[in-house]
Structures are given as structure tokens and as C-alpha cells.
């Protein structure tokens, strides 16, 4: 008689977040026993029977205790913010938190580890012809302006240090996550701003986005088949900001702004235009959001498609589901 296979025991940090919630749903559907490490309990994780351990990735002891008895670890914990006041905490969570989790995994002999990073560690440029791939260099001179991306790039350095020492960590680099279920508005906040009429002009840059459900579905494959140390880029489409807003118009019925700020105006105005970005005519944007929207965040995801069978759905479906979810739950803007 065949011996019944034991369900895998999996730790997910950041389980209550946008990606973490979808990953837990996927893992639970596959029969896994899930443990989370977080600062508080969350009602929406209970339906997936997640064993919610209270603690922090900033505590070495909490990480050591959390990985005990686990077969796999998905490290998704992070802080998404464009506020300068959060920069210190972002470096702490992303760099020290990643180090603590990986040290705990190494100490426990756990080799099935996935770390969620972001495409922004390599995927940003100043030209519409720019497109990043896995081997693209980190544009330190650019991302040094944005603590979220710079701290994530430093976290990837930590990952590489562990890979070099023999821990086979796999890395996911998704682009902007959209889709249903962003309870805190950390990723879909700009779509909520559009729906509430706060976006009054299109910035001259370009973005890449992907459905959170497609990334969550791909992470277990990354765990099994991904090459350690490779930052797999996962995006569904690259669009100019103007085209992105027109796409939102098509699925929501809310008019996209008619005015696009020309790149030439941004270049000539220098820092002055960022100062006035907070005016209503520009949508009341903070300087960081304005500056990011004047760059190009385009990526090539072919390697993830070839090696991990990553298959992103049509981007219009993602936009439609994002809009419908925001309207159902309520507008959540940063």
C-alpha cells in the first residue's frame, strides 16, 4: 500500500499583503500547511487555515522560531511607501529583514526559498526604447532617488551573498501588481486615484504591470524550477502612462485626462515642475510619484515564460478586475 505523501509545511512572510494573500490561497488549494510571520493576525488568512505567528522579520529570534519545522519559505514581507519619512524603515525591513530570514533558513537547513523583489531593481530607464532583462545592471544613479527601489536592490545584494555561500535562493521580480484583493491599496492606489477623478494629466513616462494572481500562481514553479540567484522578471505588458490611463477609461467609463505633460517641458522645467506637481492641475502628486511617472519601467519577461511557464493573462482583464474590485470594496488611495 502506497504511503500517503505528507503535505508540505510552508512559511510565508508578508502573507497578509496583496501578493501574500493570493499565494496563500494558491498554496492552500494545493493542500499545503501554511504558517505566516507577521505583526498581527488577519481575518482574511483564516479561511486558508494559516497558522499565524506573531513576530517580525526584524527580529532574528522570531525568524529562527518561524522557520522551525518548515520545508519551504516564501519571503514576501516588505513595505511599500513613497513617503520620505518611511525610508529608514524600508531599508530596515527589506535589507535586514531579508538577511534575518535567509540566515534562519540557512541555519535550519531549508533550501527551498523564494524571495520577492521588484522589477524596479533593474527595470527603469530614461528612454521609451529602454527595456530591462534579467542581466540588466542596477541603475543606481536613478533608483537612489527612490528608497523603495534602492532598498530592494540592496536586499538583492543580500540574497546574492547567500547564494554565493551555497543557499539556492530563487528571486521573483514582478512589475506593478494589479488585480483584485489589494486590501490596503498599496499597489492599486493609483488606479483608485484615477477612478476618483484625481488624475488630471498623464505623465510622459511608461509603466509595466502584471496580474497578482498570475505571479502568485508562478511562485511555486519558481521554487521548483528557477535558477538560484536569477531575478526573474514578471510583467504582462509595457504601456505608456497615457495608454495605461486610456485602458482604464475603456474598462471603467471614467474619462482619461486629455492632457499629457510633454517630456520636453519636464526637462526644461527641472526641479521647479516637481515642486508644482502637488497643484490640482497636475493631480496633487507627491514629488516621488511625479518623477517616477516621467521614467520608463519596461521589462522583458521571456525568461520566466520559457523556464517557469509564466503565462500572464490579457492585461485588459487585469484592469477590469482591478476596477471592479476597487468599486466593490471602496476607493483606497495612498
What positions carry a catalytic annotation?
148
Total length of the chain: 334
In 251-291, beta strands by DSSP E: none
d(CA 38, CA 89): 16
Secondary structure (3-state) at 167: coil
d(CA 78, CA 63): 15
d(CA 45, CA 220): 19
Closest CA to 163 of 223, 106, 244, 218: 106
d(CA 269, CA 202): 17
240-246 long-range contacts (CB < 8 A, ≥24 apart) are 240/128, 240/205, 240/206, 241/202, 241/203, 241/204, 241/205, 241/206, 241/207, 241/293, 242/202, 244/207, 244/209, 245/194, 245/199, 245/202
d(CA 262, CA 264): 5
Phi, psi for 64 (deg, rounded to 5): -60, -45
250-256 long-range contacts (CB < 8 A, ≥24 apart) are 250/316, 251/316, 251/319, 251/320, 251/323, 252/194, 252/195, 252/323, 254/194, 254/195, 254/197, 256/194, 256/199, 256/202
Grid cell in block for residue 228: 538560484
Secondary structure (3-state) at 238: strand
Amino acid at each position: 500500500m502506497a504511503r500517503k505523501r505528507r503535505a508540505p509545511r510552508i512559511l510565508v512572510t508578508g502573507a497578509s499583503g496583496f501578493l501574500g494573500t493570493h499565494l496563500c490561497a494558491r498554496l492552500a488549494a494545493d493542500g499545503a500547511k501554511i504558517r505566516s510571520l507577521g505583526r498581527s493576525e488577519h481575518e482574511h488568512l483564516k479561511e486558508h487555515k494559516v497558522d499565524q505567528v506573531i513576530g517580525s522579520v526584524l527580529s532574528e529570534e522570531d525568524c529562527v522560531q518561524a522557520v522551525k519545522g518548515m520545508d519551504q519559505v516564501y519571503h514576501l514581507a516588505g513595505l511599500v511607501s513613497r513617503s520620505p519619512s518611511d525610508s529608514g524603515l524600508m531599508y530596515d525591513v527589506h535589507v535586514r529583514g531579508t538577511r534575518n530570514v535567509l540566515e534562519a533558513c540557512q541555519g535550519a537547513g531549508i533550501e527551498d526559498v523564494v524571495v520577492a523583489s521588484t522589477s524596479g531593481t533593474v527595470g527603469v530607464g530614461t528612454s521609451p526604447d529602454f527595456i530591462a532583462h534579467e542581466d540588466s545592471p542596477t541603475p543606481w544613479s536613478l533608483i537612489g532617488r527612490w528608497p523603495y527601489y534602492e532598498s530592494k536592490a540592496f536586499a538583492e545584494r543580500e540574497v546574492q551573498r547567500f547564494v554565493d555561500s551555497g543557499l539556492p535562493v530563487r528571486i521573483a521580480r514582478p512589475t506593478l501588481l494589479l488585480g483584485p484583493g489589494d486590501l490596503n491599496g498599496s499597489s492599486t492606489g493609483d488606479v483608485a486615484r484615477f477612478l476618483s477623478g484625481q488624475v488630471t494629466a498623464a505623465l510622459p513616462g511608461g509603466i509595466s504591470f502584471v496580474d497578482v494572481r498570475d505571479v502568485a500562481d508562478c511562485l511555486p514553479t519558481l521554487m521548483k524550477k528557477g535558477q538560484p540567484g536569477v531575478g526573474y522578471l514578471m510583467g504582462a505588458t509595457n504601456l505608456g502612462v497615457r495608454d495605461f490611463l486610456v485602458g482604464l477609461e475603456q474598462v471603467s467609463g471614467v474619462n482619461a485626462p486629455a492632457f499629457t505633460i510633454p517630456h520636453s517641458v519636464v526637462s526644461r522645467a527641472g526641479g521647479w515642475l516637481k515642486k508644482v506637481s502637488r497643484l490640482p492641475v497636475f493631480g496633487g502628486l507627491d514629488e516621488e510619484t511625479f518623477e517616477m511617472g516621467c521614467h520608463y519601467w519596461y521589462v522583458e519577461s521571456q525568461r520566466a515564460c520559457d523556464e517557469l511557464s509564466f503565462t500572464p493573462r490579457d492585461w485588459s482583464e487585469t484592469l477590469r478586475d482591478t476596477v471592479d474590485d476597487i468599486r466593490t470594496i471602496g476607493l483606497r488611495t495612498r
